Amino acid sequence: MHKIAIHLMQVRNRIDSAAASCGRSVDSVQLLAVSKTRPPADIRAAYAAGQHRFGENYLQEALDKQQQLADLDIEWHFIGPLQANKTRPVAEHFAWVHSVDREKIARRLSAQRPASLPPLNICLQVNLDSEASKAGVSLAELPELLDSVAELPNIRTRGLMAIPAPRTDFEHQREALEPLATALLRLRASHPALDTLSMGMSADLEAAVAAGSTMVRIGTDIFGRRD
């Protein structure tokens, strides 16, 4: 068995165990394999092992991979920072965007999504720790941003995404992520279609599931550490 297939099995077992430990269905958490900087051969190996959702951070790298892997039925997610001058190829070539943090970006994605494709799924990125080095809207600004983009055509606002500052223990990791889950529950009162919490990576997968994540983004524990 390919080592990537083994790693995928281990990650899926972690997700299942984390879900079971907090009384959640194992089907309530989706796995997004983060394949940035990984060669197409690694993605093929993961696909052969049953993984069909892949997340990319760097646009040109992702577009090159999409061409090389066009024979595979991959659901591509863009999870990196998105500049306004790069929205068109993202709108044309991805199924999801996790990193929308400005109304301008959402409006461009909506306008540039081809009519031949289903609506583009988006998550609004939240900066939970107010880190200057990270993108994302604050929790206080989130309702206004959601109201401004929720009714745009050609996109579907599915939920929220966050990349919290690293914490070393389970309880602190969960406490850092719980405000995002609380925000989603509150916003569902006026936006009932929200159904996605994109949070949790290799180091905090279990805490993210305990906090309510519905989609964990795992790279290192599937593909190994990057050089």
CATH code at position 138: 3.20.20.10
* Pairwise CA distance, residues 65 & 40, whole Å: 6
Residue 76: CB atoms within 10 Å: 19
Asked if 203 and 177 touch (Cβ cutoff 8 Å), the reply is no
pLDDT at 132 over 80: no
* Pairwise CA distance, residues 172 & 32, whole Å: 23
Q: Which domain holds residue 19?
A: 3-223
| Alpha-carbon distances of 12 from 9, 18, 178, 189, rounded to whole Å | 5, 10, 22, 32
39-87 pLDDT, tens per residue? 999 999 999 999 999 999 999 999 999 999 999 999 999 999 999 999 9
Q: Is 0.85 topped by the overall pTM?
A: yes
Tally of domains within the chain: 1
The token pair at 191 is 């936006």
β-strands 53-56, 30-34 pairing: parallel
106-128 pLDDT, tens per residue? 999 999 999 999 999 999 999 98
Q: What would the mean pLDDT of 154-169 be, rounded to a whole number?
A: 94
Residue with the two structure tokens 């899926």: 12
